[in-house]
Each structure stands twice: as C-alpha cells, then as structure tokens.
Chains A and B, each alone.
Chain A
Amino acid sequence: EQQVQQSPASLVLQEGENAELQCSFSIFTNQVQWFYQRPGGRLVSLLYNPSGTKQSGRLTSTTVIKERRSSLHISSSQITDSGTYLCAINSAGNKLTFGIGTRVLVRP
C-alpha cells in the first residue's frame, strides 16, 4: 500500500500559469516536506511544513495534519520549474516516506 499519494501524476502548464499539487497520507505524521527533482538531478528540499501555511518565493505549502493532506502551490510558473515534485512524510522515527511524485512540464 502506498502510504503517500500524490496527484495529479503529471501536469502540463503554460509559462505563467499557477498549479496546485496534492499530497495525502494514510498514516499519522507530524512532519511533511516537499522536494524537487530535475530529470537526472539530485533531490532538493523545497519546504518543510508540519502544519499551516509556509511560503518560499513562488511556492506555498498548506498542510492540514488532522486531515492527512498537504498541498503545494506554484505561482507564475517558469520553464525552470519543470521537474518532479515529491511529497514526503516522517513515518516512525527518523524515516521519510516519499510519494511517487508529480511530474510538471512548463511550456513557453
């Protein structure tokens, strides 16, 4: 069973459009993180958001722990935002469990 579910699986945007990525998890956690991965590139931590709303530049994450969900909003998308966005939760101890990710393609 996939403990972390992400939707949509993929997304195509025109440059400048906004996007909302969803993450839901089947187990209790108190820590949610969002990561970014360019094809062939390394994973980079974007936001750590255990609850409420956190913003970093054009990225805004909203987490509602009791509802077991988190979202990542990308505003005014740019071509360089293309890549895979992964949601991860802390599941038991010091282990991060990742979702499969949402592939984002931003076209000019």
Chain B
Amino acid sequence: EAGVTQSPRYAVLQEGQAVSFWCDPISGHDTLYWYQQPRDQGPQLLVYFRDEAVIDNSQLPSDRFSAVRPKGTNSTLKIQSAKQGDTATYLCASSFGDSSAETLYFGSGTRLTVL
C-alpha cells in the first residue's frame, strides 16, 4: 500500500516569494491534515479537511497561507509571501474517519528554508 506522498522534498526561498506544497494521501482516507514542524519542535496543526471541506483552519495564517483539497483527494498548501519565520518542515497526514483514535499516517514532509 502506498503511503502519504509529499512534494517537493525541499524548498529554499527568498522572503516574499511564493511556494506550494503538494500532498497525495493514502487512497480511501477521507481526512487530511497539514502540520508545521519548526526545527526541534513538535508538529503544530495548520488545517485539516474531511473530504473537500475545511474542518478547522483556525491556526492557518490566513493572510499568507491557503490550503485546498478540491476533490477530496490530493491537497495543496500555499504560502503567498514567505517569511523567515515560516522556515519549518511541512507535514501532511491522512486518516480514515474523524477520530484521532484512528492512526495518522504521515508523509516525509517538505523542508522549507526561507532566507
């Protein structure tokens, strides 16, 4: 069974540039999460979807970040104008069902460096 796939693996930007991250969850998983993990910290939830609907985006900096999952499968997270403080690894995870008792499967992440 294929796992959660993310691309690109790495991204290096200058401040003010835009970047998009792409996630392909495990087939059949209806719930998809985006986490931000700064260096030496735990992951912090940005947004999560059930199918194509945003369930919670309260921690997503809406002025610069956006996330979509138009067909309830793949998802894209975009940073419109990156800042140095956005330097982190961006993790995508998926699960089946809406309880956190369900095992989350994580992708390998996209490591973003903003210079």
Contacts and interface: CB of A to CB of B under 8 A. Distances in A.
A52 to B, nearest CB: 15
DSSP majority for the B interface?
loop
A33 interface: yes
Q: For this complex, into which size category does the number of interface residues on chain B fall?
A: 20 to 34
Contacts of A44: 106
A96 B99 CA distance: 10
B100 A42 contact: no
B99 A42 contact: no
Interface residues of A, number: 22
Contacts, number: 54
B100 A31 contact: yes
B100 A43 contact: no
Interface of A: 4, 31, 33, 41-45, 48, 50, 86, 88, 90, 93-101
10 contacts: A31-B101, A45-B103, A48-B103, A94-B55, A94-B98, A94-B99, A96-B100, A98-B42, A98-B44, A100-B41
